[in-house]
Amino acid sequence: KACDLLGMPGDSKEEMLAESLKARGYQTVGLAANPMLTLRRGFDRGFDSFASHRGYLASPEDMMLLRETFEKGQSRSGALWNLVKRGEWGKLIRLVRVTRRIRRFRAKSNYPRSKYGDLLVGKVREANLEPALFLVASVMEMHDPYTDYELAASNRGPFPTVGNAAVYGYKTIDESVMAQIRKGYYDCASTLDGYFGRLVSTLKERGLYDNTLMVVTSDHGQALMEHGYYGHGTFLHDEI
């Protein structure tokens, strides 16, 4: 988690897997939908190419502004008004532009059911892949949010997610809403399954599939009220 928030240590002498494989002649390609995995944080070490979906929508400076503005669950209008009161006109204009760009893109991409996985698969299909290939694709389809309900800042209050708001007593998630969230979770799983199938098809078309080892892993799971709470990052049950 420290690497998520702070990035890779700049002075680390530990050899990363991508660095080791690159030294042995592998083509190393990194593709990330997770906004934490960026060039600025050093996650591109050892990769011949490393692309984040955020590059399509927002610069690193834009992402810092978004994180700073919405980390306390403010609504867009509330965040804009705070910038007006502080006279931060440059930030205000940039925030309007980037949020508009992201909202338009999400509307076209069926967000939150799809969380940019289609962009990553598209990048793989466009790439000139070599037989000795190390490809890392970090996808976000299985990460919350799963429903429009979770996107509303009013349902989060001072917390970044609905799950946090519920754990700390700000919000109660009733069963009818939870049923929608569970359905959204499985819809996202179905979407991701389709993207994975397209990735496999691409490897087969390029003649790379039969000699490829595929590893699927995750940094955490998601609790869906099995133990009385929704989300991740707070407790250590098997679902997490």
Question: How many whole angstroms separate alpha carbon 96 and alpha carbon 106?
Answer: 15
pLDDT at res. 7: 57
What pLDDT score does 103 carry? 83
pLDDT tens sequence across 144-166? 999 999 988 788 877 888 999 99
48-57, 69-78, 99-108, range with greatest mean pLDDT: 99-108
Q: With b meaning 16 or more CB within 10 Å and e meaning fewer, what string describes 126-139?
A: ebebeeebbbbbbb
Task: Using a cut of 0.85, tell me whether the model's pTM lies above it.
Answer: no
To which H or E segment does residue 183 belong?
helix 175-205
Average pLDDT, the chain: 86
